[in-house]
Copies of this chain bind each other. A is one copy, B any other.
Amino acid sequence: MAELPELARTLITRELHAQGLFAHMGCEILEVEAGRVTLAMDFRKEVAQQHGFFHGGSVGFLIDNATAAAAGTTLREGQSLLTAEYKVNFVAPALGARLLCRAEVVKAGSTITVVEARCFVVKDGAEKLCAIGLASMAVIAARTLAS
């Protein structure tokens, strides 16, 4: 894909930081490129389930956010997005010091944009795939959101 204009990166970064849940989960932005966003969060008990793993809801949060942001990088003037749905398949326990989610646009459509995501848990410096996500967003007129 083409390079992402700096303005788009700034807007997407600002949108993410404007989410109360973003700070509450300790979420960080690692990368915002054309069609691709990487988010991360450190392990703390506040984002864990009862066995000391990252909670499935924490994994889902990263996927929801990273896929929407990745879709956001493909918007044109006057367009906005609504997340229609997302799916998470867990493939390994999310046990580690850090959780990464790499989202990549599969198809930026005029009606629907589809994004896939892979979540990795970082343990002793090594990344291990722990979940895979698939999400779709409805592309709508920007004013629709404002109305």
Contacts and interface: CB of A to CB of B under 8 A. Distances in A.
Contacts of A56: 64-65, 68, 83, 86
Contacts of A127: none
A67 B82 CA distance: 21
Interface string A6-34: 00000000011011110111000000000
Interface residues of A, number: 53
Interface of A: 15-16, 18-21, 23-25, 44-51, 55-58, 60-62, 64-65, 68, 82-92, 106-107, 109, 111-112, 114, 116, 129, 132, 134, 136, 138, 140, 144-145
Given A19-B55, A20-B44, A20-B45, 17 more contacts: A16-B50, A20-B48, A21-B47, A21-B58, A51-B145, A55-B64, A57-B61, A57-B62, A57-B64, A60-B64, A84-B90, A86-B87, A89-B106, A89-B136, A92-B107, A132-B134, A138-B138
